[in-house]
Amino acid sequence: MNVDPYTPHAGDARIRVEHYDLDLDYKLSTNRLTATAVIDVRVAQETAAFGLDLVGLRAKKVRVEGIPKAGFSQTDRKLKISLGAPVEAGTVLQVSIDYAGAPKPRRTRWGALGWEELEDGLLIASQPTGAPTWFPCNDVPYDKATYRLRVVTDPGYAVVGSVPAARSTSKGRAVWDFDIAVPTATYLMTLQIGQYAQERMPLGTVSGRLFFPRALTARVHADLEDLARMMTVFEEAFGPYPFAEYTVVVTPDELEIPLEALASAIFGANHIDGEHGLERLIAHELAHQWFGNSVGVARWQDIWLNEGFACYAEWIWSEASGGPTAHAKALAHHARLADLDQDVVLADPGADAMFDDRVYKRGALTLHALRLTVGDQTFFEILRSWTSSRAHATATTADFVELATRAGGAELDALLSRWLDDPALPPLPAGPANVEAAPLTGPILGLGGSAGLDRSRR
């Protein structure tokens, strides 16, 4: 039973997953994965069968505790599990699946997704439907679960997950154990394997970890030198960082785009130039920890809640760090969008356009229009209330509109409707007088002219 029209072949509305326990044995030289998944499945509606997403890997054995007559079959997208008789809603089933194969990316309308070999290692980039390339799952964004991962692989490589791992050896092979207690969407689960140098990276009150090729040390240090101050600015703007740590991985390979994952970000060597040339991407991926990774979308049509907010965070950091103000950024991007086709509805852009740059920029402009209308104090109170009330949960556009109008007044409903529901690009509100000439002022660190970071050294 399909649950999201943007990804019609993913997920099953009859179930929710509470926990994934994954034992993965991976040989880098042959790209061979042998694995067992033990999945705690809660039945959401009475059913005698359900499906899990699994792509490119073959299930060998499936067991359902307490149901000896359970059976299974498999297509190119689904592992279908039959229970023999209807099971009532609320029942928790423990499903064990032995599976194996040579994992590879899956081809989608958004490009190749999932498990991908690098020249010497691997990365996993799953948004939105790549997770089934490495484990059977209910691959829809609203179904967050906890995880335990045990990864056995070749020695000499770092295995990087969203949290620190307990490391050991067994029969000459390296063993990495990860325990992820924060409810997490399947697309945000990741593993990165490579011959990485590792450093601790203090980020104010947040502990940071950095993994990178030694050959890129100077460039990595230069480009990430402001990450601690960026964390401080975002904590003041959005509320406390929502996870225990933040991990940054820089791969030796070039990547088309950076990747966000739970409590982590992955950049290609081409994104780290040593000259802060792509600093907006660093800000964007950090902001996703609040918007997307903690407060997740319940359905893909609301992707602007992830990408528009992360894009606006780029503008906040630009202003706080002595670059162009958020308003200057908004004016420039509004002018660019005005010259493009007006055929994207932000609150429902369609599957083909969900990662269109117009969604990102119009999403950011929507937030700026809200900020101009309600003023800085109320605007940032709305953002902090959003991240605290929805922490580690999911939300829809309607949820954000309801919160904003409750805080800023019922008249915001019409404003937000124009930006979210009409394809035509609305004009930006007038906002405070002389806003073009100076940063908007407010309680957030760096959002006044004298508080910007000193960039004169660059």
Q: Would you name the residues annotated as active-site residues?
A: 285, 360
Q: Which two tokens stand for residue 56?
A: 């490119």
The answer to the question of whether 307 is labelled as a binding residue is yes
Residues 268, 287: Cα–Cα separation, whole Å: 18
Residues 418, 347: Cα–Cα separation, whole Å: 11
Pairing of strands 92-101, 106-108: unpaired
Please check whether residue 413 is in contact with residue 401, taking contact to mean a CB–CB distance below 8 angstroms. yes
- Burial bucket for residue 335 (CB in 10 Å: 0-12, 13-18, 19+): exposed
Residues 434, 421: Cα–Cα separation, whole Å: 30
DSSP-assigned states of every residue in 309-330: HHHHHHHHHHHHTTSS-HHHHH
CA neighbours within 13 Å on the CB side: how many for 263? 23
User: Is the peptide bond between 128 and the residue preceding it cis, with omega within 30 degrees of 0?
Assistant: yes
Q: How far is CA 164 from CA 176, 180, 247, 310, in A?
A: 9, 10, 9, 25
Residue 429: DSSP 8-state: P
Q: Which two tokens stand for residue 261?
A: 């994952």
| Number of H-type helices and E-type strands within the chain | 9, 22
Please say whether the dihedral angle defined by the alpha carbons of residues 422, 426, 429 and 434, taken in this order, is positive or negative.
Answer: positive
Pinpoint the alpha helices (H) of 264-320: 279-287, 304-320
Q: What are phi and psi of 401, to 5 degrees?
A: -60, -40
Pinpoint the alpha helices (H) of 178-278: 217-223, 227-238
Q: What is the identity of the amino acid at 218?
A: A
Grouping H, G, I as helix, E, B as strand and the rest as coil, residue 74 is strand
Residues 6 or more apart whose CB falls under 8 angstroms from that of 303 comprise: 297, 349, 354, 355, 359
Task: List the one residue out of 297, 430, 314 whose CA is nearest residue 361.
Answer: 314
Q: Which two tokens stand for residue 112?
A: 């190749």
The answer to the question of whether 288 is labelled as a binding residue is yes
Task: List the one residue out of 336, 328, 283 whose CA is nearest residue 310.
Answer: 283
Which residues sit in the known binding site for Zn(2+)?
A: 284, 288, 307
Which residues sit in the known binding site?
A: 284, 288, 307
